[in-house]
Amino acid sequence: MTTTDTTTETITWEQTESGVVVLTFDDPTQSVNTMTAAWSASLSAALDRLATLGSDLTGVILTSAKKTFFAGGDLGDLLATTPERAGELTVFADSAKAMLRRLETLGVPVVAALGGSALGGGYEIALACHHRIAVDSPALRIGLPEVTLGLLPGGGGVVRTVRLLGLDAALDKVLLPGTAYRVQDALELGLIDRIVPDADSLIVAATEWISANPGATQPWDRGEPIPGGTAYTPEIEAVLPLRSAVLRTRHKGAPMPAPANILAAAVESTQVDFDTASAVETRYFVELATGPISKNIIQSTFFDKQSIKSGASRPEGFPVHRANFAAVLGAGMMGAGVALSCALVGMRVALKDIDTAAAERGKDYARKVLGKQVEAGKRTREDADAILDLITPTASVADLAGADLVIEAVFEDPDLKRTVFAEVLDVVAPDAVLASNTSTLPITDLARDLPRAEDFIGLHFFSPVDRMELIEIIVGDKTSDATLAKAFDIALQMRKTPIVVGDGRGFFTSRVILQRLVEAAAMIGEGVDPQSIEQASLQAGYPVGTLALLDELTLSLPLKIRSQFREVAQQQGTELADHPGDAVLTAMVEELGRPSRVAGGGFYEYPDGRRGALWPGLGERFPVSGERADLADLRDRLLFAEVLETVRCHEDGILRSTADANVGSLLGIGFPTWTGGTSQFVAGYPGGTRAFVHRAQELADKYGPRFTPPASLLEG
């Protein structure tokens, strides 16, 4: 029974007869609670009121009326914070941390009752409580993922996790990986203290703990040492240089300052008192929050992705669609992955190939993936078997009867693709979505002779399909809005992130990544040391060296796509300019017989099928010049090649939004995370668009007209 029930702007206040005050976060203006000015004012007022209660106050419980406990800092505010406003952000961060410090030193037990996820700033609030209780929900997550946004936990997360878990565990388990833990894992790690079965049990359990622990305090306020010791402890001090080296190695020289700032803040925090440590943490946080890299990452990975998933590219006026029965045509690597991805979300799947044995081999892929998940304890055997039962290997068109989704995943041969569609049109549902998984062939051409061109669309999956998040949806000239809406919903149903692009050879992702591939080949022809090319790739932030990527994709693929572009240009009465990389790739494939990793050799050697050293014969065919390569130029050539082609995709109407460009480039072609994506690279370029154009022109003057800034940039 409560004795009072009042509300400030974002916090509801209730006090029970036992003297426990329940503060419920409930911002009426947002679907989630964030650290806004209104929240700050509300918490300050609540703390002032708590301080007046004296002996009438026996404890405090923090909980939430939202689905999540607390979402943390307002990313919109952070995005708008410039270096000139660093002082304002410092004041706000210090003020918020001062309130949390008041909370944990009230002199009564404080409990966080987590009915929903507590990530980032939300978990930092929970850390300021003496006890943390969470509901046993598979959807609930606990952690400090700020590093994934180019930030560090600036609300006390660094200081408190180090003092709670010790320096090593805090860094390796929480701060540097940014892991969002499931409830049981969070309990085992010590991030929470108790799990209850349901939300109704939270307040009861919290009240019981308060009653049993009237003198609760934080371990750092009881004078307890940091677990494992401080930076001065010989065992820890000895490995600190190694930690710095590991970070440098992990990021290969790419500009990712957040991990370095986290390490510095954590180490320094062990050498000073709590309040000084908090000030150190704020300094490192503000440096990141006002810098360009966190803004790039926040824009793309949060706001752009949110825009996409909310349906910004989906036509309005159509009901939400769900597919129930998918016919997957082709049981090779891509088809097998598509079939598994459909089954994972509960779709029934007919996996068709030229014969049943080939279709069964496609299902074997699902058996292998699910078997590994069972062995790792991520899935039960019963669950895996239920998913496998949804996939029916077949060679018979009759088994596709009634399918409401068709996904073709055969070889990149237009005639073959048209043939397999023609075979099934009379069998599948009359309103089925007809999708091709082509990566380069125009959708309009593939639909040319089909009677249902309005139902035809491109769904370009990325390999491995069951792990890659992106789907590139390609809209043909006759694709209806209804089909696009269905395809968009199907992508979300498959737990993928869909970008919507226009039709044209290579679409967006294949067209853009092609420029990076042939640029690296051109460098070989110029006499650049191949090791420098790979080093420049990694320093730019790409996940693998560009020559290694070429080997994986096959060196003949760029040549094939370039040939297709050349044919299109001729049909349009123009010519495709030669690229200096074409000659190198042609020589590697036709003269030297080293087309790919699968074939046993490319730019690298592959003993036992595994990538080894760069092939020594490269130096004989393409001698390295005596000039030392300018790594800055090499990095920029790779980055600018993709970014400039993105601008051309906007001009050509292939891209419909910068959000699609950013998210598509990050998730689909491995464009460096720190940039925020190929469009954000221009928007966030130091000095703005004018500086980007100037640098592009420098590259054009030195390396060729392919780097000439497109007209839209010059007009801007």
Distance CA 688, CA 709 (A): 14
* Cβ–Cβ < 8 Å for 340, 391: yes
Task: With H, G, I as helix, E, B as strand and everything else as coil, classify residue 231.
Answer: coil
Amino acid at 464: P
Rg, the chain, Cα only: 28
Amino acid at 2: T
What secondary structure letter does DSSP report for 219?
G
Distance CA 627, CA 636 (A): 18
CA torsion 183→189→190→191, rounded to 10°? -50
Tokens of 365: 């892929």
* Cβ–Cβ < 8 Å for 193, 134: no
- The residues near 49 (Cβ < 8 Å, ≥ 6 apart) are 13
Task: With H, G, I as helix, E, B as strand and everything else as coil, classify residue 404.
Answer: coil
- If residue 149 lies in a helix (H) or strand (E), which one and from where to where? none
- The residues near 115 (Cβ < 8 Å, ≥ 6 apart) are 63, 64, 69, 135, 199, 202
What secondary structure letter does DSSP report for 398?
G
Q: Report how far apart, in Å, the C-alpha atoms of 12 and of each of 7, 46, 107, 158, 514 are.
A: 4, 9, 21, 29, 56
* Cβ–Cβ < 8 Å for 713, 693: yes
* Beta-carbon count within 10 A of 106 CB: 17
Amino acid at 78: L
What secondary structure letter does DSSP report for 409?
-
Q: What is the 3-state secondary structure of 566-586? A: HHHHHHCCCCCCCCHHHHHHH
- The residues near 306 (Cβ < 8 Å, ≥ 6 apart) are none
DSSP string spanning 496-531?
-EEEEEE-STTTTHHHHHHHHHHHHHHHHHTT--HH
- 460 catalytically annotated: yes
Determine which one of 131, 460, 579, 650 is catalytic. Answer: 460
Rounded to an integer, what is the distance from CA 415 to the centroid of its chain?
Answer: 36
Which residues are bridge partners to 20 per DSSP? 59
* Cβ–Cβ < 8 Å for 217, 130: yes
Known catalytic residues?
460
